[in-house]
A and B are shown apart, each in its own frame.
Chain A
Amino acid sequence: MDSRLRSQVVFHLTGRLPDDDEAGQPLPAGLRPALLAPYRQLESIRHDFPVVLAAGAGEYVVSLSAAVDGALRAAAPQGLQGEAMCKRALHVERLIREAAAGGAPRTLLQAWDEVVAGCDEAWRREMTIVRDALAVDGELAGCDARLSSRFLRHAWAVVQGEKARAARVRIDALVLRLEGILRADYARSAVAFQAANLQQTFGGTHQALFNFATMSRLLAPAASQGGLEPPRRARIEWALRTLREQGFYPAPGDPGARSAGIDDFAFDNVPAALDAYRQRLPDVLSLLKALSLAELEVEGQFVEQLHAPIFDGMQSQDFTATDLQFFPDYLVTLDSDAPGVQADLVNALASGMPTKVLLEVRDLLEEAAPGQGRFSFGMRGSQLASMAMTFGDAYVLQSTASNLLQLRDRIQRGLRHAGPALFSVYAPADGESTLPGYLASASAMQSRAFPAFSYDPGMGSDSATRFSLENNPQPDADWPLESLIYADQDLQAVTEELAFTFVDFLLADRRHSRHFAVVPRAHWGEGLISARQWLESPPADAATGLPSILAVDDADLLCRVIVDERMMRAAQRCRDAWHRLQELAGIHDSRAEALLAREKALWEQARAIEVAALAPAVTAAAQAGLAPPAVAAPLAATAEDEAAPNPDVAYIETLRCSSCNECTLASPKMFAYDQNKQAYITDLKTGSYRQLVEAAESCQVSVIHPGKPWNPDEPGLEELIERARPFL
């Protein structure tokens, strides 16, 4: 074996190069997967970040690029002047992007002003026009380790704001209508008709014109007797008091000592959130009772005997997620590396507390517990989100930080979900990756290391409707394939299809650089195969090649990097986890595929038997020069019209009766209405044939058919039979 190849094999199997190997040096600085070569200057590329966490109405988050585009659409004139304005505004946007990458938090307008302040007067004037056209403002947030908590916190605050406004409308409406009941009761009472009280209801200007004592005497008899029953009055007053004094949604401008602010519902650990929830349970119970009671009272639907025992027996254990949806949600932010996070998460999701959990995942490849053995791919990270799906009623969304903007609608849907929700978001810790934050987190999703998925119990009752793998690139494939165009040694363009695999993602992680070794171009041999090929091959075939990936260094020179076996095993586990998600989404579903194969085999078998049965007839027909017989004769019409009614027997086409009352008024014993107010004949014997014929004549829609007379002794039968003829 060639010594170079031997060194490479040793490295692949052990993760160490022989001491004498010249390649045994650290990875070159700035080494990154070849597919990421075009994205070196991220600040100069318009992409989703930074985002503006918008305050006010409209979209709650927009990308900086979208905000600038919107402003330019509104402000830039047509023609050359507009073109120049766009160019300058895009330059300002780029400067803001650079400033936002490492600066202190600031709003879009603050950042805009800072950047524009350094420009000359003409620029400043023009950029002020664009600034005024910006439809949104809010804090700028780059794609860094803090993004997930800032983003979720902002989205949660927006949803809580919506909730508070809706709750205030509901509470205010009920208060108003309950007050209306009490006011109406007072207005009709004897007290209200007393002279002094009547006088108060008149404007001061005209009081002297009236004699209120006389007015009181006249009105007093009209006062209601008794008014509201005492239990009802007590109920209404209690509900009013509870609604007015509740502390969850204070009235605007009412500081209220008992009122809770939005910060009182945000926590960084589960036990504290649960404590707060338990302490508030009595208030929740009272308010829920008051709401239901008030709604029944204002609708006049409260039935003392029926409803009073239900309200008396209502307990906090009876709350459903829909009931609790009225109240503020508890936002709990957890770190996936924190000890006991798994147990905390189970507690939060199973407690019945209206909670939205943000799980911040920082590390996707951890050393297994013994430390020396294999990696445990994503044990704490992606597995926690998968575990949460087993709760059934929990909304689960997993995403990398880079994809949050794209998933903003789903995030809002999760925050509005009636029940617990888990948002598992991956963003690498600052400094761990050689790539900028956006690329590091985007490549985690691209490489299936941290796929995006959502599980929405509100969408339906089965996983086909609830689970979605949308947003992942090429979800049908093991790894997404992209084209790489590079120049070879003869400066000729070469196009190659490259898969972006799990090991491509890890190449940029400083902590794992020892698992990669650069192979100088001179040593590229046939023994090197792509990581994708290695992963797709059966173990026996894979053993004949060394897995490698294409990378570029700081100078954008292409090189091959071989990967050790431990890392490749982790990639296999990553792919297996992706396969499980694919199956859940119905992609390459093994059960469905087996079922399809079985049905196809059965169908082919049946066709074969059918063809075999027809073969002699076809042969005979061919010999006789006839057309082959049809496979099946067309179905004979089986439905027969019902027998026509007997014209000798009296009947009514009840279905066509237009309820005109003629027959029922003329002969109320012979005709009656059914439950739909359409006529039918009760008993012919209760009337005469004459009455029946006259009813048929008076029927405007001619649905009464008198038939033949049943009493041969009835006088004038001949004439009646003649008159009945048109209605038979």
Chain B
Amino acid sequence: MSAATLCLHHFAEENYALEDYQGGVPRWCKGCGDNAILAAIQRLCRDESLRPEKTVFVSGIGCSSRLPHYMRTYGFHGIHGRALPIAEGIKLARPDLHVFVNTGDGDCCSIGAAHWIHAIRYNMNMTVLLHDNHIYGLTKKQASPTSPVGTRSNTTPRGSYLDALSPLTVTLGVQNVSFVAQAVDWIPESLFQILTAAYRHRGFSFVRILQRCPEFVGNMFEPWVHDPQRMLMLTHADGIRVSPALQKIYRNQLPHDPADINRAREIASSEDPIPVGILYRNPEVPCYEDLRGAGKLRTADQVRGALDAELDKFTVWPQ
């Protein structure tokens, strides 16, 4: 885009309010941590002046995946585990859109795990929010891959048998990983900061958000919610900086350079205290859409020709 056009855009730039991004009234359970995530996302959209018609939220199935309904932007409530391939298709076809993905621990780490691994490797420019409440909430309490061992649920009445899968260490182990962060819904300020950094990163920004589910696993995060010393705030000039007000509450801080992947893997393995901040960031990893030359133009005739060719494969010609 030329300098003149940018200047003209600037003249016409609109200021948005939080209300401009509020869609339907959230129908999550009482006290659900998803509310905090929704508020942080709306704040991000407002502060980054994202045009609603240029923004799309894609989700799979689950409590988290209801989020697109509550945003007044474009949205795609997809099928179980397939939020990421849908988002990748959108990004390839419409690279001008800001693409966000809302997925849950069941949606992403179980049925959608294969897509998740390859989406990391593809490193397409999108922001992925993993709402991780350690349980299937929409279907009334079944153990998910991230449920801690011993979690009693409808499917594991004697307690789950396996150690929980760590979305952070998995993501950090995949080729081409470019951005990994962890946030918690009960520290809204750092959640907003982390989401902002994730949005600004060009590449596949993966943010795991530990999210409370008061309805089905109400005590899961209680110790950490009520004891700020059990939270570990990762700080760095290239990461996030904890505000003075928050510093008084969360005094347990650790300087961590997001460029250091080995240290990031160590930190990601910690379950107590819970690390919060940017674990890893590498802006040099190429994006798939750039490698594929998604900028190549597809004229209307080419699209029509390709569609005709595909449909002709299945046409039954009248006799």
Stretch from B8-16, B144-152, B197-205, B256-264 contacting the other chain: B8-16
Chain A min CB distance to B306 (Å): 15
Asked whether B2 lies within 8 Å of A660 as measured between CB atoms, the reply is no
Residues on B with C-beta less than 8 A from A173 are: 295, 297
Contact B12 A303 (CB under 8 A): yes
For residue B31, CB closer than 8 A to chain A, the reply is yes
Rounded to whole angstroms, the CA-CA distance of A35 and B187 in the bound complex is 72
Shortest distance from the beta carbon of A208 to any chain B beta carbon, whole Å: 9
Residue of chain B at shortest CB distance from A642: B248
Is the CB–CB distance between B39 and A323 below 8 Å? Answer: no
B26-A661 in contact (CB<8A): yes
CB distance from B97 to the nearest CB of A (A): 12
Interfacial residues, chain B to chain A (CB-CB below 8 A)? 1-5, 8-9, 11-12, 18, 26, 30-33, 35-36, 38-39, 42-43, 53, 185-189, 192, 212, 214, 225-226, 245-246, 248-249, 295, 297, 299-300, 317-318
Q: Are A641 and B35 neighbours in the complex by a CB distance under 8 Å?
A: no
Which residues of chain A from 457 to 486 have a CB within 8 Å of any chain B CB? none
- Other A-B pairs beyond A176-B297, A677-B43, 11, CB < 8 Å: A173-B297, A300-B53, A306-B12, A322-B2, A323-B2, A655-B246, A658-B185, A658-B186, A660-B31, A675-B18, A698-B30
Question: In this complex, which of A172, A288, A323, A700 has the most chain B Cβ atoms within 10 angstroms of its Cβ?
Answer: A700
A176 touches B299 (CB 8 A): yes
Chain A residues within CB distance 8 Å of chain B: 169, 172-173, 176, 179-180, 183, 205-206, 209, 288, 291-292, 295-296, 299-301, 303, 306-307, 310, 320, 322-323, 326, 641-642, 653, 655-662, 675-678, 698-702
Q: Which of the residues A206, A299, A658 comes within 8 Å of B36, measured between beta carbons?
A: A658
- Taking a contact as CB atoms under 8 Å apart, the answer to whether B11 and A306 are in contact is yes
Q: Which residues from chain A contact B246 at a C-beta distance below 8 Å?
A: 655
Residue on B with the closest CB to A661? B35
Complex CA–CA separation, A661 to B26 (angstroms):
9
Residues of A within 8 A of B225 (CB): 700-702
A326 with B8: CB separation less than 8 A: no
Taking a contact as CB atoms under 8 Å apart, the answer to whether B297 and A172 are in contact is yes
- 12 A-B pairs with C-beta separation under 8 A: A169-B295, A173-B297, A209-B318, A291-B5, A296-B8, A656-B188, A658-B33, A658-B36, A658-B39, A698-B31, A700-B225, A701-B225
Q: B186 near A295 (CB under 8 angstroms)?
A: no
Distance between Cα atoms of A301 and B299 in the complex (Å): 23
Contact B35 A658 (CB under 8 A): yes
In angstroms, how far is the closest chain A Cβ from the Cβ of B309? 13
Task: Tell me, in angstroms, the Cα distance from A326 to B3 when the chains sit together.
Answer: 10
CB neighbours (8 Å) of A661 from chain B are 26, 35
Given A176-B297, A292-B2, A301-B9, residue A659 in contact with residue B36 (CB < 8 A): yes
Task: List the 6 closest pairs (A to B, CB-CB), nearest first.
Answer: A658-B36, A659-B39, A700-B31, A677-B39, A295-B5, A322-B3
Q: Find chain A residues with CB under 8 A from B53 CB.
A: 300
For residue A659, which residues in chain B have a CB less than 8 angstroms away from its CB?
Answer: 35-36, 38-39, 188
For the complex, what is the distance from the CA of A487 to the CA of B116, rounded to whole Å? 74
> A307–B185 Cα gap in the complex (Å)?
43
**Would you give the shortest CB distance from B228 to chain A, in whole angstroms?**
9
What is the minimal beta-carbon distance from B215 to any residue of chain A, in angstroms? 11
Whole-angstrom CA separation of A641 from B245 in the bound complex? 11
The distance in angstroms between the C-alpha atoms of A681 and B64, with both chains bound, is 29
- Chain A residue contacts of B31, Cβ below 8 A: 660, 662, 698-700
